Amino acid sequence: MGGSPKELIYQNNSMEKPIRILLQTTIPASEDDWSIERFSLLRDYLKSLTDQNGFPLCQVVARNRESDAEGNDPILSTLEHSEFDELWLFAVDTGKGITPAECASINAFRQRGGGSLITRDHEDLGSSICNLDGVGAAHYFHTHNPDPDESQWQIDDTETTSISWPNYHSGRNGDYQRIIPVEPIHELLHTPDSPSRYIQFFPAHPHEGAVGVPTGANNARVIAMGKSLISDRLFNLAVAFEREQDAAGNILGRAVAESTFHHFADHNWNPDMGAPSYVTEPIGDGFKREPHTLEDIKTYVRNLALWLAPACLDANVHAYNPVRS
């Protein structure tokens, strides 16, 4: 839930059990693609988090897509029956990255209260997530579920001519972008480590995708925006979905639609980690020159892990919580 922070405090209770998070890509393992191995800094950071008593805050499983005899991923197609509390899905495929059976299972996972971070990239990269209920409709692509605002149907990143819209240019990989929090500032953007008391920096990317609030989604809102370095156009970075009761009486888990998986990729946190060979854009050095700015995305990651946790863990989640005015 949103609200301007006054003070950040700890709850007194410790975690009875860690938050179980699945980091999952929509492609099989590949050394020259955006496989889960290219999100190792995110994985390791989540694993490093502890509560005030030193107990692990998260239990993390990071994996690539696999296929069984029916062509379904054995974990994604049975997710609602798993012990996972959260799904962080990196849609890095060029098409058909999620099967109907997997979509149905991910939907059922959210219906039983599981939290979801669903992210993609430019143009049509990862467009199979459009088939997910609710949060899928928050992702706008070139040929699938395009932005309802047709004025956004134009190329923003004019430097990489092989990529069409949506492709908002927030900066080079390895640089940071200054975000624009949307009032009231959402708790996902709270931080005790900044004089402003909110997160100011996200990793930049030359061609981010597009997200927005789906029509009729009263439980969702844009929480942060970016600004193109080429056109000065504003674009949405993240849409947060609060818990709500659906028509069947299920309390849906929280969810976040993120404009690009590059906010979480090794190459964007530390370009020295490398990227697939087809990534040819010039590399920035913003995080190297000002390493303190990288702390904001780490705080955001921690906030995501805590905020997306199912309601059944609310009493046990030991972390920062805003004190409302």
Tokens of 263: 């906010």
pLDDT at residue number 11: 36
Residue given tokens 């008391």 in the structure block: 197
Tokens of 291: 């390493």
pLDDT at residue number 316: 62
CA distance 208 to 233: 12
Size of the chain in residues: 325
pLDDT at residue number 198: 96
> What's the pLDDT band for 315 if we cut at 50, 70, 90?
low
Q: Spell out the domain ranges in the chain.
A: 8-322
pLDDT at residue number 283: 97
CA distance 159 to 179: 22
Burial class from Cβ neighbours inside 10 Å (0-12, 13-18, 19+) for residue 158 reads: exposed
Instruction: From residue 140, give the alpha-carbon distance in Å to each of 131, 149, 306.
Output: 12, 10, 26
What are the tens digits of pLDDT across the range 223-264? 999 999 999 999 999 999 999 999 999 999 999 999 999 999
User: pTM to 2 decimals?
Assistant: 0.92
pLDDT at residue number 319: 43
pLDDT at 214 over 60: yes
With beta carbons less than 8 A apart as the criterion, state whether 122 and 167 touch: yes
Output the CA angle 139-142-144, nearest 5 degrees: 60
pLDDT at 194 over 80: no
Burial class from Cβ neighbours inside 10 Å (0-12, 13-18, 19+) for residue 101 reads: middle
Higher pLDDT, 2 or 257: 257
What are the tens digits of pLDDT across the range 9-37? 233 344 568 999 999 999 999 999 999 99
**8-322 topology per CATH:** Rossmann fold (3.40.50)
Instruction: From residue 236, give the alpha-carbon distance in Å to each of 7, 14, 107, 233, 286.
Output: 27, 35, 24, 10, 22
- The residue-averaged pLDDT of 78-106 equals 97
H or E segment to which residue 60 belongs: strand 58-63
pLDDT at 8 over 80: no
pLDDT at 325 over 80: no
pLDDT at 6 over 60: no
Half-sphere exposure of 235 (CA within 13 A, CB side): 36
Residue given tokens 């597009």 in the structure block: 210
State the helix-helix crossing angle for 294-307 and 40-48, rounded to 10 degrees. 60
CA distance 305 to 188: 10
pLDDT at 111 over 90: yes
Beta bridge partners of 320: 10
What are the tens digits of pLDDT across the range 133-163? 999 999 999 999 999 999 999 999 999 999 9
- The residue-averaged pLDDT of 205-219 equals 96
Q: What is the dihedral of CA 262, 263, 265, 270, to 10 degrees?
A: 110
- The residue-averaged pLDDT of 61-75 equals 97
